[in-house]
Structure 1
Amino acid sequence: MRGALGNSMNSAIDDISEDYQDWGLDNLSYKDGLLTLNLVTYIKGDDPIRFIVVFTDTVFFESYDESSHFQDYHLNRSSGVIGVYTASSLLEYAKTKTNVMCLSNDKLSHYSVMTTNEIIHVLTRTEPVVVNVT
């Protein structure tokens, strides 16, 4: 993984393909702040390439269909399948309308993981871990 919390987020996923439409969400699991996303691509033929993206300190997440938020999902977002936002309406909402920031010491970052069918937004205090499990 290359990058640092709050800056650009590039990962080994982008070394395979930076085009989020090449990737699919195979599985999502969440329990007690641990969000695990299993991503898969078949761009190299019949043999799948699989990655696990783990957020170990998830404060908030939401998942929705990629086409339902088409207009501004790249606004203030770094490039790549996993992106970090320098500013976002979701982060602003968490800061002003919820008690999340009081509980998080104002150190939340907003990431999104984009695949061909889903976008998963995550507010967290830690950078995600990306593991190739192919």
Structure 2
Amino acid sequence: MPLLAKLMILAMAAQALLTMAILVLMGRERVPRVMSGEIAMAAIAVDRTAYPLRARLLSNSFDNQFQLPVLFYVAALLALMLGGVTSLEAAAAGLFVALRYAHAIIHVTTNHLLQRFAIYTAGLAVLAILWLMVLFRVLVASPGP
């Protein structure tokens, strides 16, 4: 397997790892509180407001991993399916995932909204560029039948 394809797969794995890590941290915040009776199951059946702030931040961050990253996974898989991931695509994938890590760290620590929004917007821009590169290969660079 070519190095650039491996790098694309590693970027996807790193994003998946981030999602799983947030899930584990969220579970460590939530489960003991419910099991000890500190938070009643009825209080969390419909919404998260009964959880303390850190648990809610982790939950929101976990939910966020199923927004832009879903579009990332699709673009990355398309790049791999087209054969020969380009160096720019691999770089964009790595940068997108790095920005997702930064976004998640801000989200679950300071939750500074302006910083989080700036990182989110930068990630969105990188993702849009990745999609444009993949679409270019599909529509222009790929030979027709």
Which structure has the larger Rg?
2
Q: Please indicate, yes or no, whether the TM-score normalized by the shorter chain is above 0.5.
A: no
TM-score, normalization: structure 1? 0.25
Larger relative helix fraction? 2
